[in-house]
Chains A and B, each alone.
Chain A
């Protein structure tokens, strides 16, 4: 595309490799304006981030809409957009499970059931809640592991994004890493969490503005959803596309061998829908921090509900383009393009092959002209930057509140902690850059880092849930539950790494594949965490009820909120969200 716009000179941006797309001056202007805008917002909000409450918690002034959009946006990184579009091309609409059953029940549960406890105890973080419920030990373990993993993940994502920019635009890796890091460091260090949240909302709008056009034009070209299905069926019948059920979500889940993902419905429902999804959406501070910044309990409860509607809509701009790519992407000679795995591309350099993960950029290049392509690329960059800003702002809050304050400088002035927060933001970005270069020189690390992150999420879910809903849970139960759940996850992962045939035991079937392993490992991990917590708690002395006020169900008087019209009530919108969620699953059954 971009047949009409003048090309940017390759030397100007150290272009080094053949790329999928070339940007016109109009596209470059669109990207440059975005960078100018985020820096402007950072400088503008600097004066609004003077106290620790303002810097770390955005003054707890966010409306339900702002908190809700930020909540979803922090999770909507560009790598996720491209990765799941690629999965949709490869596996079909099964990939939408990660947006629906893998998110919606957990988001609604957070808003309606868990949020009152997080909000009423006025905690500033998830480790902060663990401190109130289980004591300093569990809190510190969770804080240190979260802080370490957050900056590491930030670096991994930074490297991956730089690689994407190299493939799509031919940009030099160092250029992408340094420019985007400096911008993130500037606006988060200046404006704190408020600046990160504002930019996440901005990014959310840009993602829709930049990416929505692709499925719309794709559907126009294929003659709508039924037209797409007809073309896909024709391609499968003629052997042009690999056989498979690309348009149904549940009917091929009866057995591991019946679907290309190698997953059983129990894994999707309990592993993804509970262990992974609830672990991520209800205990990962990266997303929970956004809701804790809400201006009232009602806003804090409504924010995940609002977010759930947008989350349900995301497959329209992620999954659908991947599916449409199956029938509209063609080679220069007019034949149907076949995307392949990264390993195949790497094994055939110079063959002109493209990987599954490139389906979204390829669709953008197909449909978006000058200006619009810049907007699409800006959406990808914005997605990456807000994801990184989310990691860095969460790291800053956890380090300052849960590590620095309780263990290093306990009683300093408020301004001191704000200064520490600004410095830690810069340090977090520097460590992230270091992690990015570490991954660049040892690419295999990336798989290990992502697995490492998953080790902590599911056991934490077991500990938080029992702590919140079972008065009898003790400090020792929480600590040992967290530890044994984590060790179970690590042990199962190491077992399969050492002996791949162990997958038949971990994921219950010899036909199971990698994704099923993740789901069942999470399920075993959270089960162990809960089981150990219960056993140890029953053998140790419980805390007096008076010490649990504000943190446990049954010991916490919830504030009575002002009555509002039904259309402003969080329960009304939760009911609507449940109906839409069920309807989508039934329609695409």
Chain B
């Protein structure tokens, strides 16, 4: 995949980072405001956090120019 320049994993990392930050941010707001839906199990917090972690890992690991 070298000739493509930017790896697909970088695109995925960027997207997951943005999604993770948005969902985690909302989850924290939800927690702090005490209006969590019953069936939600705080999923926005831990799932958003997980997406953010995976996204940052792939974004950094496959950042263009990192291995040049």
Contact indicator per residue, chain A 43-69, by CB within 8 Å of chain B (1) or not (0): 011001000000000010111001000
B49 at the interface (CB under 8 A from A): no
Residue numbers in B under 8 Å from A26 (CB-CB) = 22, 26
Set A59, A205, A221, A371: member contacting B23, Cβ < 8 A: A371
Structural contact, A202 and B8, CB atoms closer than 8 A = yes
A423 at the interface (CB under 8 A from B): no
How far apart are A225's CB and chain B's nearest CB, in angstroms?
18
| Residue picked from A45, A63, A198, most chain B C-beta under 10 Å | A198
Structural contact, A369 and B40, CB atoms closer than 8 A = yes
Could you tell me which residues of chain A, from 185 to 230, have a CB within 8 Å of some CB in chain B? Answer: 194, 198, 201-202, 205-206, 209, 213, 217, 220-221
B6 at the interface (CB under 8 A from A): yes
Residue numbers in B under 8 Å from A41 (CB-CB) = 11
> Closest chain A residue to B8 by CB distance?
A198
**A369-B40, A371-B22 given as contacts; is B15 within 8 A of A202 (CB)?**
yes
A30 at the interface (CB under 8 A from B): yes
Structural contact, A29 and B22, CB atoms closer than 8 A = yes
A13 at the interface (CB under 8 A from B): no
Structural contact, B11 and A202, CB atoms closer than 8 A = yes
A427 at the interface (CB under 8 A from B): no
B53 at the interface (CB under 8 A from A): no
Structural contact, B15 and A33, CB atoms closer than 8 A = yes
The CA of A41 and the CA of B27, in the complex, are separated in Å by: 29
Query: Which bracket fits the contact residues of B?
Result: 20 to 34
The CA of A194 and the CA of B26, in the complex, are separated in Å by: 35
> Closest chain A residue to B26 by CB distance?
A371
Residue numbers in B under 8 Å from A217 (CB-CB) = 39, 41, 43
Structural contact, A30 and B19, CB atoms closer than 8 A = yes
On chain A, the number of residues with a Cβ less than 8 Å from chain B's Cβ atoms is 38
The CA of A497 and the CA of B35, in the complex, are separated in Å by: 56
The CA of A48 and the CA of B19, in the complex, are separated in Å by: 28
> Closest chain B residue to A62 by CB distance?
B1
Residue numbers in A under 8 Å from B41 (CB-CB) = 217, 220
Residue numbers in B under 8 Å from A368 (CB-CB) = 43
How far apart are B40's CB and chain A's nearest CB, in angstroms?
5
Contact indicator per residue, chain A 24-35, by CB within 8 Å of chain B (1) or not (0): 001001100110
Structural contact, A61 and B19, CB atoms closer than 8 A = no
Structural contact, B11 and A209, CB atoms closer than 8 A = no
The CA of A30 and the CA of B30, in the complex, are separated in Å by: 18
The CA of A41 and the CA of B7, in the complex, are separated in Å by: 11
Set B12, B18, B33, B44: member contacting A372, Cβ < 8 A: B44
Structural contact, A194 and B39, CB atoms closer than 8 A = no
Structural contact, B16 and A205, CB atoms closer than 8 A = yes
A4 at the interface (CB under 8 A from B): yes
**A3-B37, A61-B4, A370-B26 given as contacts; is B43 within 8 A of A213 (CB)?**
yes
The CA of A66 and the CA of B11, in the complex, are separated in Å by: 13
The CA of A1 and the CA of B4, in the complex, are separated in Å by: 41
The CA of A276 and the CA of B12, in the complex, are separated in Å by: 33
Residue numbers in B under 8 Å from A369 (CB-CB) = 26-27, 30, 37, 40, 43-44
> Closest chain A residue to B54 by CB distance?
A209
Residue numbers in A under 8 Å from B33 (CB-CB) = 4
B67 at the interface (CB under 8 A from A): no
Residue numbers in B under 8 Å from A220 (CB-CB) = 41
A558 at the interface (CB under 8 A from B): no
Could you tell me which residues of chain A, from 329 to 388, have a CB within 8 Å of some CB in chain B? Answer: 366-372, 375
Residue numbers in B under 8 Å from A30 (CB-CB) = 19, 22
Contact indicator per residue, chain A 130-161, by CB within 8 Å of chain B (1) or not (0): 00000000000000000000000000000000
A16 at the interface (CB under 8 A from B): no
A17 at the interface (CB under 8 A from B): no
> Closest chain B residue to A69 by CB distance?
B8
Residue numbers in A under 8 Å from B15 (CB-CB) = 33-34, 37, 202, 205-206
Residue numbers in B under 8 Å from A66 (CB-CB) = 1, 8
How far apart are B51's CB and chain A's nearest CB, in angstroms?
6
The CA of A48 and the CA of B8, in the complex, are separated in Å by: 13
How far apart are A403's CB and chain B's nearest CB, in angstroms?
29
Residue numbers in A under 8 Å from B5 (CB-CB) = 48
B59 at the interface (CB under 8 A from A): no
B3 at the interface (CB under 8 A from A): yes
Residue numbers in B under 8 Å from A206 (CB-CB) = 15
Residue numbers in B under 8 Å from A45 (CB-CB) = 4
How far apart are A299's CB and chain B's nearest CB, in angstroms?
11
How far apart are B19's CB and chain A's nearest CB, in angstroms?
6
What 6 A-B pairs are tightest by C-beta distance, nearest first?
A371-B23, A198-B8, A371-B26, A369-B40, A205-B12, A201-B8
Seen from chain B, the residues whose Cβ lies within 8 Å of a Cβ on chain A are: 1, 3-6, 8, 11-12, 14-16, 18-19, 22-23, 26-27, 30, 33, 35, 37, 39-41, 43-44, 47-48, 51
A-B contact pairs, 17 of them (CB 8 A): A4-B37, A29-B22, A30-B19, A37-B15, A61-B1, A61-B4, A63-B1, A194-B4, A202-B12, A213-B43, A217-B41, A369-B27, A369-B40, A369-B43, A371-B48, A372-B44, A372-B48
Question: Given A62-B1, A209-B16, list of 15 further CB < 8 A pairs?
Answer: A1-B37, A26-B22, A30-B19, A33-B18, A37-B15, A40-B11, A63-B1, A66-B1, A221-B39, A366-B39, A367-B40, A367-B43, A371-B27, A371-B48, A375-B23
